[in-house]
Amino acid sequence: MNNKVKIWCKNNNIYEEFPIGSTLLDVYNGFNLDFPYRVVSAKVNNRSEGLNFRVYNNKDVEFLDVRTASGMRTYVRSLCFVLYKAVSELYPESKLYVEHPVSKGYFCNLQLGRPVTQADVDAIKQRMEAIVAADMRFCRTECHTEEAMRIFSERGMNDKVKLLQTSGSLYTYYYTLGHTVDDYYGNLLPSTGYLKLFDLVLYDDGLLLRVPNRENPDRLEEVVKQEKMLDVFKEHVKWNHIMGLSNVGDFNMACAAGHATDLIKVAEALQEKKIARIADDIYQRGQEGNPVKVVLISGPSSSGKTTFSKRLSVQLMTNGLIPYPISLDNYFVEREQTPRDANGDYDYESFHALDLDLFNRQLQALLKGEEVELPRFNFALGSKEYKGDKLRLHDNMVLIMEGIHALNPELTPQISVENKYKIYVSALTTISLDDHNWIPTTDNRWVRRIIRDFNYRGYSAQETISRWESVRAGEERWIFPYQEHADVMFNSALLFEFAVLRSHIEPILNNVPRNCPEYAEACRLLKFVKYFTSVQDKEIPPTSLLREFLGGSSFKY
């Protein structure tokens, strides 16, 4: 009888045999791999697993450190558990909410019944350091869902009870760290000793959990002030609480009670109200003697910028203004002049992929009252074309310029601040799975893009997933540094959207082949959307931002 399993390690392309039931940590040590940073998780047959995962059959294994997105998620989840354990031990009557990523860290709302002080932060951090120094094991237990619900109910963790109650799963698992119980919807580290680098600081009226930099895990991410973004998050979290929807369990129960249509109507109305207020602000500036001539709209991929600009245009017209949309994509340089990235490929995300000279010459001419012929970029030919699209600005006319570089100050250096109105659009998801498990805003946009690419661009989910890292790198370099420059931020995320997107994304992700690297992310996204009760999209209005991705919009794109 063979008591061995054969493991192929993708990190060094070597086969080795190990005893049946070996953990991935045993396998890692057996391969004697030389990683510059400590390994934190692995892919097993292209599925993410923790290092405590045991192998009973032949497997392909790829080990990951914190420089990968999956590895960093494992690190941060484990760190959040340590934070919760420290808080629950020091302040047993408190409530901790890990709400959203901001300022290169994670904003945590700690409710003590009084303001959080520096002394509180120091005490919590000291306790976290002691837990890390003790190298305590993260233990995972699988059980019947009813048993997990009983365990969480006894501890007053009703947010997790509601989520499990509406999940439809027969079995589930939970984690323990000493006597502390919690649940995280992904892998954790083997033990707390792996968490060598972190920090906890006062931030606004809460805490900021600081984490390592992915590219250089020996140092922490720099704290970047993002006050406007934090305000947007807080505003929407407040509205969620007013509506009694603090987490996905609350949302699922509301849908089960027949309130899905009402939730859609309220969420859509809130967005329309925001857009109307932005249009009113633009109009009011003109009444005060500083007319806005150029509205600049930027945001990362799949934020719904195009639909937002069209809805803003409608609201501007109700104020007597005449909007004229101009896409910055029409100002790309000729294909052969496009900058190249480190791999030698065309870098279409680069600011210098735009014909800045032509753009500024035409913009200056328009603001002087001159007529210009606008270019159209032919993406098939990689060249600008002129089709007789002539424009001259008249009274009450406003240019609506949309593109990823719109907020870069180098784009419009010659336009006075008074004549520009800058808007940052992004899907800033504010509902959480539960009190300690946030929904990454990146995943919100990613699901949107996979659906849109499949429906309208002929790309499979595998292709979209494979390109996502390069898209994210371009956003980090060219978009995020300028988001706080905006006059206003608009949150394009909708409270109900994952429930609607679920039925659209599931069949697309299910077609990702198991033998490709992208399968791991497809599985993670599938698991994640299944927490939401599925809601049909028939109640979504034709002007909704979601229609840009699902189809059925009354706007032309």
For position 503, what pLDDT does the model report?
Answer: 96
Evaluate whether 4-65 and 232-550 have a shared fold.
no
Query: How sure is the predictor about 238, in pLDDT bands with cuts at 50, 70 and 90?
Result: confident
For position 462, what pLDDT does the model report?
Answer: 97
For position 342, what pLDDT does the model report?
Answer: 82
- Tell me the C-alpha distance between 173 and 499, whole Å: 23
Look up the CATH number of domain 232-550.
Answer: 3.40.50.300
| Tokens encoding 201 | 């600081």
- Tell me the C-alpha distance between 465 and 470, whole Å: 10
What are φ and ψ of residue 143, in 5° steps? -155, 175
Q: What is the pLDDT of residues 10-69, one digit of tens each?
A: 999 999 999 999 999 999 999 999 899 999 999 999 999 999 999 999 999 999 999 999
* Percent of the chain residues topping a pLDDT of 70: 100
pLDDT at 414 over 90: no
Report the amino acid identity of residue 120.
D
| Chain center to CA of 48 | 19
Q: What is the pLDDT of residues 305-333, one digit of tens each?
A: 999 999 999 999 999 999 999 999 999 99
For position 109, what pLDDT does the model report?
Answer: 96
CATH architecture of 4-65: Roll (3.10)
For position 243, what pLDDT does the model report?
Answer: 85
Look up the CATH number of domain 70-225.
Answer: 3.30.980.10
pTM: 0.93
Q: What is the mean pLDDT of the chain?
A: 95
Query: How sure is the predictor about 395, in pLDDT bands with cuts at 50, 70 and 90?
Result: confident
Q: What is the pLDDT of residues 71-90, one digit of tens each?
A: 999 999 999 999 999 999 99
H or E element in which residue 489 lies: strand 488-491
Q: What is the pLDDT of residues 197-218, one digit of tens each?
A: 999 999 999 999 999 999 999 9
Q: 3-state DSSP call for residue 394?
A: coil
Domain boundaries, the chain: 4-65, 70-225, 232-550
For position 1, what pLDDT does the model report?
Answer: 58
Q: How far is CA 52 from CA 23, 25, 70, 144, in A?
A: 5, 6, 16, 21
Q: What is the pLDDT of residues 338-384, one digit of tens each?
A: 999 888 888 888 999 999 999 999 999 999 999 999 999 998 899 99
pLDDT at 157 over 80: yes
Q: Which residues of 206-221 are buried (b: 16+ CB within 10 A; e: fewer)?
A: bbbbbbbbeeebeebb
Mean pLDDT for 417-443 is: 93
